[in-house]
Amino acid sequence: MKKMKTKSDYELLKSMCAIHAPSGNEVAMKDFVLDYIKTHVKSWKHQPKIYAGKDFQDNIILVFGKPRTAVFAHMDSIGFTVRYGNQLVKIGGPVLKEGTKLIGLKDEKWHDASLHIALNKDKSLKGLEYVSDVLFDTGTELTYKPNWREDKDFVQCCYMDNRLGVYNALRLAETMKDGALVFSTWEEHGGGSVAYLQKFLAEKYGIRQGLISDISWISDGVHFGKGPVISMRDSLIPRKSFIRRIIDIAKKHACAYQLEVEGSGGSDAKELQMAAFPWDWCFIGAAEENVHTPDEKVHKKDIENMIALYKVLLKAL
């Protein structure tokens, strides 16, 4: 008998990777996440209080029960802004590769474009331009053209960073009893929203612990299929005693994980560390290959182990 074809477990992630939401214009992701919450919330084990709207700009906070820990997942992505004519300015830190396929909105229709890297005679960067059949209006954002790929072990597309962090948070919502989920903005281009979101959580709920649901990178010490990364440091250094607690909990519950030490990179954690409240924080996430390109690649086992580790930590911390 022929086996019935089933949908991928990652249809939600696939849908989110295709949403246009560069830093500063996260409205489409905000609307998608809010619609998802309203559609699925009744099936969740516990019902959250939803904070969104004018006082929260394009951010969303879900609060379950008596929260002790907040999970931060940024909704924005990298990309480019049209300057004048065919000129482009980077949003965040996209990897620059000649001919990269882009898309942008013109007259309420999506149009294809490609990246052109203009060089000086000495091969230094002169500027960035786009090539397209249409002339986009000044201020239009161009983002990577989605190309979802999936096999038995891997998922691959643009914007795994950080739609996968959002996916993790939405999966946690299904069973979360006590905790807060924060869907933030602007992270890829300097941040800003977590500064007031953490203040709201600290003052209203007394929360002082944050887990950063974001994506790291494959390196000489981080490998596919070995579990999500528990980052001991990047450009910032979290409090060692809090990191040790997290590692001890992961060991006690036999959770798969890898330890990461880097000297660069950052996340929403920077605004927790600089806050006027005593936040502890740790970056925990699956690692990807081809960072900030249209081909970000993540192992499925690392995704599932990321969700499992977060579930354990939210109960134990």
pLDDT in tens, 138-160: 999 999 999 999 999 999 999 99
Which fold, 11-77+148-316?
Answer: Aminopeptidase (3.40.630)
Cis amide prior to 162 (ω within 30 degrees): yes
Which whole-number Å values give the CA distances from 291 to 142, 197, 236, in the listed order? 18, 27, 20
What percent of the chain has a predicted confidence (pLDDT) above 90? 96
Question: Could you report how far apart the first and last alpha carbons of the chain are, in Å?
Answer: 48
Task: Give the position of tokens 């290959």.
Answer: 289
Which fold, 79-144?
Answer: Elongation Factor Tu (Ef-tu); domain 3 (2.40.30)
Q: Which two tokens stand for residue 287?
A: 């690692």
Greatest distance between any 2 Cα atoms in the chain: 65
pLDDT in tens, 215-250: 999 999 999 999 999 999 999 999 999 999 999 999
Q: Average pLDDT for residues 170-177, to the nearest whole number? A: 98
- Produce one character per residue of 84-122: b if its CB has 16 or more CB atoms within 10 Å, e if not: eebebeebbebeeeeebebbbebeeeebebebbeeeeee
Beta carbons within 8 Å of 190's beta carbon, 6+ residues apart: 23
Beta carbons within 8 Å of 317's beta carbon, 6+ residues apart: 68, 69, 209, 245, 246, 249
Classify residue 206 as exposed, middle or buried by CB count within 10 Å of its CB (0-12, 13-18, 19+).
Answer: exposed
What percent of the chain has a predicted confidence (pLDDT) above 70? 97
Q: What is the structure's pLDDT at 7?
A: 55
Q: What is the structure's pLDDT at 265?
A: 87
The whole-angstrom separation of Cα 22 and Cα 91 is 7
pLDDT at 4 > cutoff 60 = no
The whole-angstrom separation of Cα 185 and Cα 30 is 9
What's the Rg (C-alpha) of the chain? 20
Percent helix, percent strand, percent coil in the chain, to nearest 5 = 30, 30, 40
pLDDT band at 8 (very low <50, low <70, confident <90, very high): low
The whole-angstrom separation of Cα 277 and Cα 203 is 9
Q: What is the structure's pLDDT at 9?
A: 87
pLDDT in tens, 13-51: 999 999 999 999 999 999 999 999 999 999 999 999 999
Task: Give the position of tokens 């977060």.
Answer: 310
- Going from N- to C-terminal start, the domains of the chain cover 11-77+148-316, 79-144
Please give the backbone phi and psi of residue 70, each rounded to the nearest 5 degrees, phi first. Answer: -110, 140
The whole-angstrom separation of Cα 214 and Cα 73 is 6
Q: Average pLDDT for residues 286-300, to the nearest whole number? A: 98
Q: Which two tokens stand for residue 254?
A: 């036999």
Of 75-79, 147-151, 161-165, 266-270, which range is least confident? 266-270
Evaluate whether 107 touches 63 at the Cβ level (below 8 Å): no
Nearest alpha-carbon partner for 294 in 110, 154, 186, 160: 160
pLDDT in tens, 77-116: 999 999 999 999 999 999 999 999 999 999 999 999 999 9
Nearest alpha-carbon partner for 187 in 28, 88, 77, 66: 77
pTM as predicted? 0.96
DSSP codes of every residue in 255-268: ---EEEE-SS---T
Q: Which two tokens stand for residue 34?
A: 């809010």
pLDDT band at 5 (very low <50, low <70, confident <90, very high): very low
Q: Average pLDDT for residues 117-125, to the nearest whole number? A: 93
pLDDT at 2 > cutoff 80 = no
Q: Which two tokens stand for residue 25?
A: 């214009």
